[in-house]
Amino acid sequence: MKKTGLAVFFVLVILLGLLAGQLGIAHLPGSTKDADTAPGPAVTEQAAEAPARDGEVELPEAGTEGAGQENAPAAPDGEAAADQEVQPAVPLPEGAEIINGEAVVHGTVEKGDTVSKIIEGNTASGSHPYVSAARQVFSMRAFRTGQPYTIVVDPASGQLKRFEYEIDARRRLVVEGVEEPVARVEAIEYVTTLAQVEASIDDNLFQAVADIGESPQLALALGNLFGSEINFIRDLQPGDSFKVLVEKRYRDGEYKGYGRVLAAHFTNKGTTYEAYLFRDGTNRPQHYNARGENLRKTLLQAPLAFTRVTSRFSHNRKHPILGYSRPHLGVDYGAPTGTPVKAVGDGVVTRRSWAGGYGNQVIIKHSAGLESMYSHLSGYARGLRNGQRVRQGQVIGFVGSTGLSSGPHLDFRLRQNGKFVNPAKAINPRGEGVRKASLGRFRKTVEKERALLLGHTSLLEYDVDSIVPPDDVAPSAR
Cα-based angle 340, 347, 280 (whole degrees, multiple of 5): 95
**Which pLDDT value is given to residue 63?**
36
pLDDT of residue 326: 62
pLDDT for the residue numbered 7: 55
What phi and psi values does residue 311 have, to the nearest 5 degrees? -155, 135
Distance linking the first and last C-alpha atoms of the chain: 116
pLDDT at 232: 82
Give the model's pLDDT for residue 116: 85
Mean pLDDT by 10 residues, the chain (478 residues): 53 53 44 40 34 34 37 43 46 72 86 84 78 87 87 84 89 89 90 94 90 92 87 86 95 89 96 95 90 87 74 58 67 90 93 94 91 95 93 93 90 91 78 91 96 92 82 44
Q: Is the backbone of residue 18 left (phi > 0), alpha (psi -120 to 50) or beta?
A: alpha
The amino acid occupying position 108 is T
Contact indicator for 2, 10 with CB cutoff of 8 Å: no
Of 80, 103, 99, the C-alpha closest to 91 is 103
Report d(CA 452, CA 197) in Å as an integer: 11
**Encoded amino acid at 174, one letter:** V
CB contact at 8 A, 89 and 158: yes
Least Cα distance to 264 among 244, 288, 247 occurs for 244
pLDDT at 364: 97
What DSSP assignment string belongs to 248-283? EEEETTEEEEEEEEEEEEEEETTEEEEEEEE--TTS
- pLDDT for the residue numbered 17: 57
pLDDT of 142 reads 82
Sequence-ordered list of residues with C-beta below 8 angstroms from that of 308, at least 6 positions apart, any chain: 233, 333, 334, 335
- Residue 99 is predicted with a pLDDT of 82
Q: Are 375 and 359 in contact (CB under 8 A)?
A: yes
- Is residue 334 within 8 Å of 307, Cβ to Cβ? yes
Distance CA 10, CA 5 (A): 9
- DSSP string spanning 297-366? BSS-S-SSSS-EEEE--EEEEE-TTT-SEEEE-SEEEE--TT-EEE-SSSEEEEEEEE-GGG-EEEEEE-
For residues 190 and 256, is the Cβ–Cβ distance under 8 A?
A: yes
Dihedral pair phi/psi, residue 47, rounded to 5°: -65, -30
Report if pTM > 0.85: no
Q: How far is residue 267's CA from residue 237's CA, in Å, rounded to a whole number?
A: 10
How far apart are the C-alpha atoms of 257 and 472, rounded to whole Å?
Answer: 18
Cα gap 104→149, rounded to integer Å: 11
Q: Is 474 helix (H, G, I), strand (E, B) or coil?
A: coil
Distance of alpha carbon 69 from alpha carbon 59, whole angstroms: 10
CA distance 423 to 417: 14
Q: Residue 449, CB half-sphere, CA atoms under 13 Å: how many?
A: 29
CA distances from 113 to 121, 148, 224 (A): 10, 12, 33
Cβ-Cβ contacts under 8 Å for 334 (sequence gap 6 or more): 307, 308, 309, 310, 407, 408, 409
- Other beta carbons within 10 angstroms of residue 371's beta carbon come to 18
What SS3 state is found at 455? Answer: coil
